[in-house]
């Protein structure tokens, strides 16, 4: 099992706060707060206003965030034709890039291009896209992101059907002796984190629940089951 997202070779479920739910006027302070609370990495929701309706931020903001943290930056590109942005995000210093299988003209070539630029290769798909779509690419990835909401908006409710997809992906991983991590993104909260972990998730992306928590350290512990 890959452990690239963990500090000090810790073997545990990683918590990946989504900065989409952060105070954009104080991202430096938000990142410092989350790091103190025990976050393992930071999830960057990159939206282009085309593949998804919303528009967020791009490589210049990612580069600014890189200068403020040593934790891994996990970029989720919800954009059309993601291959055109790989150089910019590589220069910005992100550690991993996740692309949507529906958005890439050539998913395999794009994944390989991500790896060639020294970044971890992530793949994801919309909840309505058949999981079988990504199966031929499992040997080419470091991360499989299971969306438990429709991409493009924060604050949505968790779709329980995502748990079956996590479990199926975990079975494929065991059967094929693959080394990719499984992440769950969307509506992940204290009450459903245990189900995600039990299904086989290695990384939990949490936005609204974690960023709005009165005690972020306690919220992270609950997500991990500690």
Per-residue pLDDT of 9-34, as tens digits, reads 455 899 999 999 999 999 999 999 99
Question: H or E segment at 31?
Answer: helix 27-37
> Which of 16, 74, 142, 185 is flagged as catalytic?
185
In order of their start, the domains of the chain are 14-224 (3.20.20.70)
Residues 185-206 have pLDDT tens digits of: 999 999 999 999 999 999 999 9
pTM of the model: 0.94
Contact 134, 159 (CB under 8 A): no
164 is annotated as an active-site residue:
no
Contact 60, 85 (CB under 8 A): no
Total Cβ atoms within 10 A of residue 70: 7
> Which of 45, 48, 74, 202 is flagged as catalytic?
45
User: Does residue 3 have a pLDDT over 70?
Assistant: no
Residues 49-79 have pLDDT tens digits of: 999 988 999 999 999 999 999 999 999 999 9
For residues 144-167, average pLDDT? 90
45 is annotated as an active-site residue:
yes
Q: Residue 15: its pLDDT value, please?
A: 96
């Amino acid at each position: 099992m890959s452990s690239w997202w963990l500090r000090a070779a810790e073997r545990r479920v990683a918590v990946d706060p989504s900065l989409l739910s952060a105070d954009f006027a104080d991202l430096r302070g938000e990142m410092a707060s989350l790091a103190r609370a025990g976050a393992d990495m930071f999830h960057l929701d990159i939206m282009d206003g085309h593949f998804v309706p919303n528009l967020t931020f791009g490589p210049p903001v990612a580069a600014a965030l890189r200068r403020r943290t040593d934790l891994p930056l996990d970029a989720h590109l919800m954009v059309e034709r993601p291959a055109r942005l790989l150089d910019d995000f590589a220069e910005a210093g992100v550690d991993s890039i996740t692309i949507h299988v529906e958005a890439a003209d050539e998913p395999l070539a794009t994944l390989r291009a991500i790896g060639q630029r020294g970044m971890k290769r992530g793949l994801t798909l919309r909840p309505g896209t058949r999981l079988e779509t990504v199966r031929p690419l499992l040997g080419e990835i470091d991360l499989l992101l299971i969306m438990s909401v429709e991409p493009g908006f924060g604050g949505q409710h968790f779709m329980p059907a995502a748990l079956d997809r996590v479990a199926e992906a975990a079975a494929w991983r065991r059967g094929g002796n693959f080394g990719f991590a499984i992440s769950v993104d969307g509506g992940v909260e204290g009450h459903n984190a245990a189900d995600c972990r039990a299904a086989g998730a290695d990384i939990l992306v949490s936005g609204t629940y974690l960023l709005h928590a009165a005690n972020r350290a306690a919220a992270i512990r609950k997500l991990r089951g500690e």
